[in-house]
Structure 1
């Protein structure tokens, strides 16, 4: 396991222990970075207008298309670290 993989795994554990729940936009960023880091580019059809949450998740993930997995992992780790410091809500 590489260093970034270890940091990514630790960030996944840390995010569940945050003292305050992040805001919806931050949750979308976390979701998109996690999916890009673990799966790669967005897959499947975009959800329809009746699935608002699914549509926003899809769009957030699609915005990261082409981002290498290790870059997405590093950005995820940075975001979780800033949340732990209370810098992002």
Structure 2
């Protein structure tokens, strides 16, 4: 299975977890997901509290290659799977 296929499969599984990860874990997963799909942040910082937190989390991943972000996302999701699935 290719990295892209594995990433998609894990991301789909994360969406179906029975319980939601902590805010910190959720932001980490979100930021890795965005970096994996879009690369470095490509939008201006929004003004809303939640949107700003997401933007800051994504910005913290700046410079990570998309394939590396996919691997990190997969690793993190697999570690959290038993906790939230």
TM-score (norm 2): 0.90
CA RMSD of aligned residues (A): 1.4
Residue matched to 1:60: 57
Residue 52 of structure 2 corresponds to residue 19 of structure 1 = no
Larger Rg: 1
- Give the superposition deviation at 1:17: 2.1
Give the secondary structure class of the aligned counterpart of 2:17. coil
Instruction: Identify the range of structure 1 (32-41 vs 10-19) with the bigger mean alpha-carbon deviation.
Output: 10-19
Structure 1 stretches (4+) deviating beyond 4 angstroms?
A: none
Gaps of 5+ in 1: none
Aligned length: 84
Give the structure with the larger helix fraction. Answer: 2
Q: Cα deviation per residue 1:5-57 (whole Å; 9 max; x = unaligned)? A: 11101111110222321011111111100100000100121112xx0001100
TM-score (norm 1): 0.87
Whether contact under 8 Å (1:18, 1:83) holds in the other structure is: no
Instruction: Identify the range of structure 1 (12-21 vs 62-71) with the bigger mean alpha-carbon deviation.
Output: 12-21
Gaps of 5+ in 2: none
